[in-house]
Structure 1
Amino acid sequence: MQRKLKRIAIERLMTSRPDSMAVSRYQWLLAENLLRSSDEEAASCSPIDGRFEVSYRMNDAALSCESGEGSTANNCISSNKIHVQFRNCSFPDFDMTLRCVGSWRDKKNQQYFIVQNEENEDYRCGIIIDETNVRKLYFANDSSCSSLSMKSAFDSYYFHSGTIAKPFAPCAFPVWMRGEFDSMKVSSHELQYLQHHVGAVPLISHCVQTFDDRVMVFSETKCGEPLGYHCLLFNARSQNLIEFKTSIPTDKSNISICTNNTQWESVPWFSSVVLNTSPYPCGIFGSFSTSKNKDQDYCYDIVFDCDEPSKMSISAYHCDDGSIFDCEPFL
């Protein structure tokens, strides 16, 4: 039911197109991210988000590209596709698109991923080494990951990301807002919307100024497209759940975008759950039932466990004959 209500709220926001006066491009992209994340399986190439200069090496062959010579890569159009442009290399110029099929980590926390070359439709396994300002990608010659390592890789790519000066002095998100959630990651200076789904545009919000339960941020796509200054209003519902609202972005930084309390009335809440949840008491105990009358088809029983206050169960049944058609436990 919670997911259904969340979906309805997001779909209402998405009924306006990005060029609507009521909905900014940021709000459209945010709604698109959250709606897709609830429906589609992971197929992101994260942490390959943004624009990069590329250096390339093919092992056992004199084929290479040097960083700064014109070769680039980006996933600006869609987060699950890496567009690589080879320029001024030791081979003729050409473009390549890699579609991300999925990614995972092994027991040693090494990140693997599978991509498909859209031109020849071949699948290849790769590993990612994420370092400061550079992502190192090592590919096997096929889809097998069993013996892939940095030394045995068929070829390797280094994705170099530059640092671009921001038009503001950075601040820090309050400690209680920080953490890793199912749809975002909040660190000291920035909020990143996680790309665990197909096609969403990578977004990032930089802290500009804090106001107790709200933060003025400057948001942009990870490809550098500015979306503007706006305010994020946060509410920690429990140790496992945080909710937030966003104001409409503007081109200029002004504290009034966070101090105007009337703007929040028609804005929906978005919720995020921490990745590693811990039991939390519901605050309600006992059994509850919906009233039974002839005007409704479905009835519900809700039971809050007195011995384990973090557990509850919901049973749905036909009001006329009491036959149960759904029963779900929750933590």
Structure 2
Amino acid sequence: MVGGDASCYFPFEFQGGYITQNTVTPEGAVRYSRVNITENAIPLWGMCHKRRDNNVILMTGSEEASCYRCFHLKLVSKNVLRVLAADKDYLSKCHTNEEKALASCLSDDDLLNEAKNTEIILYKFHEWDGAEVRQEYCPIHGRYRMTYSVDSSDTADAIECDSVESEVDNCPSGSALNLRFRNCAFPDREVTFECLGHWRGFGNRNYLALLSTGNESHLGPKYRCATYTENPKTGEIEISFSRDSTCRAIERQYVRHPNSRYTNGNGIGSEYHHEVLTLRPIPLEFGPVIQYCSFPSWLIGRWEHVVVNQNQLIYKDHNTFKTYTMKCVKNYTNHDSNKYIVYSQTQCGEEMYQCLKIERRDTNVFEFQISSRQSANYTATICNDFYFNDDRWLTQGRLDSNDIVSPCPIIGEFSGIIPDDEGLCAKLSSECESQDIMYYQISACDYANEVYEEREYRCLGQWTHRNIVYTYTQRRDVGTYECFVGTMLSDRQIFIKEAGEHCQRDVNPHRFGMELNKVAHCTPPQVFKSPGRPTHKYSEVPQPTQRPGLPVNGGGAGGHSGVLAGTSGNHFHQSCKNISC
């Protein structure tokens, strides 16, 4: 929490240019406006005045005539920011002081009650530095036969397409959905949606944000929000679209003003919209496979980019946007029991034999490699060590792993100076009553209240490689996965550094990392714990006397209380490169 008189800044993941729905014409056309988020402001909405968790107080005007508003901001995916406000007229209503604005912030109950909040969906179209947004993988992959129907008060007759010749696929890129309408009640057409993001919303509903790449409005507005459900037995998927670019006009009737063109004579509106795309999977055909093996039981489940059952592994490559469906053919036991020959097929129908090398790092973390050689025919030679690089792994965290706690490698509070960024200091601290939670804060060294960024991490697992410990984490504020490497020279001094997106192995935290020294340790837990969220409980650490450095412990993948380790694509302090630090 940024409190007191601390400065207020937005994380760089929030910063950039966005599109949001402005108005809808009587004909149903959606008009958009642009919203820009800088490091400390949302122009037209206000300057960042104070942040408390996901709530932010924005201020406009002067000190003599200030106007304060409270918004709830949640980055539901990399390219979609969900904003909630208490009033529909959120830009015209404001409060005269900070206290009233804080009191107006939505409560936890109000956040779950759609009748008590207004939702604004922001679709990002460029990053803070002007770069194009990164592609996002669609949650739907493969080939499907589709049916499409629209039943809306905007149309005199329902629109339907139930031709068996209409299909959906995401070839060549897993970041898009290609809809091919054939022999429907309307002329043949093709529509392509780019996937902007997907997330789990209220009531465990799955949401999907889409961008239509065509200029013609064949299938609704340019930006679309939808919910989707999947039948786990049949694989059938049903996508329900919003009538506009919001996420609250899905399968819903509306009460409109008495002079609405959709009234039933009693002044009660009857506007409705039901637009559904039903997908039935076209099964993959694995022709030459005549025998199968099984993957280890600990691997079965859902991971970041991997889904595993007994003899099948589906991997979504976020670099090439190819989806590989791999059938386990043989456990390569000649030399290593962790290698598996698989028969792979991409979403475009490309087929090949490959070899997987799989290593369990911790309960919630595993790493794997795909052999650099592939073959059209079965051969055990693709599993030779020559086709693997021990310094290039793909790291995966287990999804829905809240029941399995993996303690973080630090206990207490550490602080230090960020190298190469003059005047910036960092603080790393553990959640004393939740061993798997830690916090990271960047601030001005001379002004402790000048806080530039705060992050919250959940530790998923840790392991040792070449006397360096890696810790894999999930950022709870934006949902990404990051990894850090570290060493500890004493119980009061650690060195940490980012290690790339997939825990690269050539990182030396002691030589190139950041030095952090312990300034407080956790106090013993209270006998009577509060039912609310646990809080930090620290007592100061006395100034240490000089003591020699301790050798790094090169133990196995158990608990490493003496070292912080991990991966991540971004520097801890990267966000400060674009603010006035």
After TM superposition, the score normalised by the length of structure 1 is 0.68
Matched, 1:89 2:184: yes
Matched, 1:63 2:159: yes
- Matches of 1:309 and 1:266, distance apart in 2: 22
Instruction: Indicate if the aligned counterparts of 1:189 and 1:206 stay in contact, CA closer than 8 A.
Output: yes
Single out whichever of 148-157 and 241-250 deviates more from structure 2. Answer: 148-157
CA change 1:77–1:150 in 2 (3 A) is: farther
TM-aligned CA deviation for residue 78 of structure 1: 1.9
Alignment of 1:289-308 (within 5 A): 300-301=514-515
- Matches of 1:222 and 1:65, distance apart in 2: 24
TM-aligned CA deviation for residue 175 of structure 1: 1.0
Once the two structures are superposed, residues 148-204 of structure 1 have per-residue CA deviations (whole angstroms, 9 ceiling, x without a partner) of: 239965321111212233121333211123333223222222222247x68712222
Match of 1:215 in 2: 340
Instruction: Indicate if the aligned counterparts of 1:213 and 1:233 stay in contact, CA closer than 8 A.
Output: yes
Count residues with an aligned counterpart.
269
Secondary structure, counterpart of 1:97 in structure 2: strand
Instruction: Indicate if the aligned counterparts of 1:217 and 1:229 stay in contact, CA closer than 8 A.
Output: yes
TM-aligned CA deviation for residue 303 of structure 1: 6.4
Matched, 1:286 2:491: yes
Equivalent position to 1:233, from 351, 354, 357: 357
Match of 1:186 in 2: 308
Secondary structure, counterpart of 2:204 in structure 1: coil
TM-aligned CA deviation for residue 206 of structure 1: 1.7
Secondary structure, counterpart of 2:226 in structure 1: strand
TM-aligned CA deviation for residue 250 of structure 1: 0.6
- Matches of 1:299 and 1:122, distance apart in 2: 45
- Matches of 2:302 and 2:359, distance apart in 1: 16
TM-aligned CA deviation for residue 310 of structure 1: 4.8
Instruction: Indicate if the aligned counterparts of 1:53 and 1:161 stay in contact, CA closer than 8 A.
Output: yes
TM-aligned CA deviation for residue 278 of structure 1: 2.9
CA change 1:75–1:306 in 2 (3 A) is: same
TM-aligned CA deviation for residue 232 of structure 1: 0.8
Equivalent position to 2:324, from 166, 189, 203: 203
- Matches of 1:289 and 1:310, distance apart in 2: 11
Alignment of 1:267-282 (within 5 A): 268-275=392-399, 276=401, 278-280=405-407
Matched, 1:113 2:238: no
Once the two structures are superposed, residues 87-108 of structure 1 have per-residue CA deviations (whole angstroms, 9 ceiling, x without a partner) of: 1011111111122222211232
TM-aligned CA deviation for residue 288 of structure 1: 5.0
Matched, 1:102 2:197: yes
Match of 2:137 in 1: 44
CA change 1:102–1:246 in 2 (3 A) is: closer
- Matches of 2:158 and 2:278, distance apart in 1: 17
- Matches of 1:239 and 1:256, distance apart in 2: 31
Give aligned-pair identity as a percent.
25
Instruction: Indicate if the aligned counterparts of 1:133 and 1:162 stay in contact, CA closer than 8 A.
Output: no
Instruction: Indicate if the aligned counterparts of 2:141 and 2:169 stay in contact, CA closer than 8 A.
Output: yes
Single out whichever of 109-118 and 147-156 deviates more from structure 2. Answer: 147-156
CA change 1:250–1:267 in 2 (3 A) is: farther
Equivalent position to 1:125, from 225, 240, 252: 225
Once the two structures are superposed, residues 19-44 of structure 1 have per-residue CA deviations (whole angstroms, 9 ceiling, x without a partner) of: xxxxxxxxxxxxxxxxxxxx976733
Q: For residue 146 of structure 1, what is the amino acid of its counterpart? A: R
Once the two structures are superposed, residues 257-312 of structure 1 have per-residue CA deviations (whole angstroms, 9 ceiling, x without a partner) of: 33x3454357732222223373247587734578xxxxx99674366999895585
- Matches of 1:297 and 1:269, distance apart in 2: 23
- Matches of 1:222 and 1:74, distance apart in 2: 8
Q: For residue 355 of structure 2, what is the amino acid of its counterpart? A: C
TM-aligned CA deviation for residue 252 of structure 1: 1.0
Single out whichever of 279-288 and 119-128 deviates more from structure 2. Answer: 279-288
Instruction: Indicate if the aligned counterparts of 2:136 and 2:195 stay in contact, CA closer than 8 A.
Output: yes
TM-aligned CA deviation for residue 127 of structure 1: 1.2
Alignment of 1:242-281 (within 5 A): 242-247=366-371, 248-258=373-383, 260-264=384-388, 268-275=392-399, 276=401, 278-280=405-407
RMSD of the TM alignment (CA)? 3.6
CA change 1:208–1:286 in 2 (3 A) is: same
Once the two structures are superposed, residues 25-79 of structure 1 have per-residue CA deviations (whole angstroms, 9 ceiling, x without a partner) of: xxxxxxxxxxxxxx97673321x212221211121534222242x2111111222
Match of 2:278 in 1: 158
Name the larger-Rg structure.
Answer: 2
Instruction: Indicate if the aligned counterparts of 1:40 and 1:198 stay in contact, CA closer than 8 A.
Output: no
Instruction: Indicate if the aligned counterparts of 1:41 and 1:198 stay in contact, CA closer than 8 A.
Output: no
- Matches of 1:257 and 1:313, distance apart in 2: 36
- Matches of 1:216 and 1:303, distance apart in 2: 47
Secondary structure, counterpart of 2:298 in structure 1: helix
Match of 1:9 in 2: none
CA change 1:148–1:270 in 2 (3 A) is: same
Match of 1:8 in 2: none
Single out whichever of 267-276 and 243-252 deviates more from structure 2. Answer: 267-276
- Matches of 1:297 and 1:254, distance apart in 2: 44
After TM superposition, the score normalised by the length of structure 2 is 0.41
- Matches of 1:102 and 1:115, distance apart in 2: 7
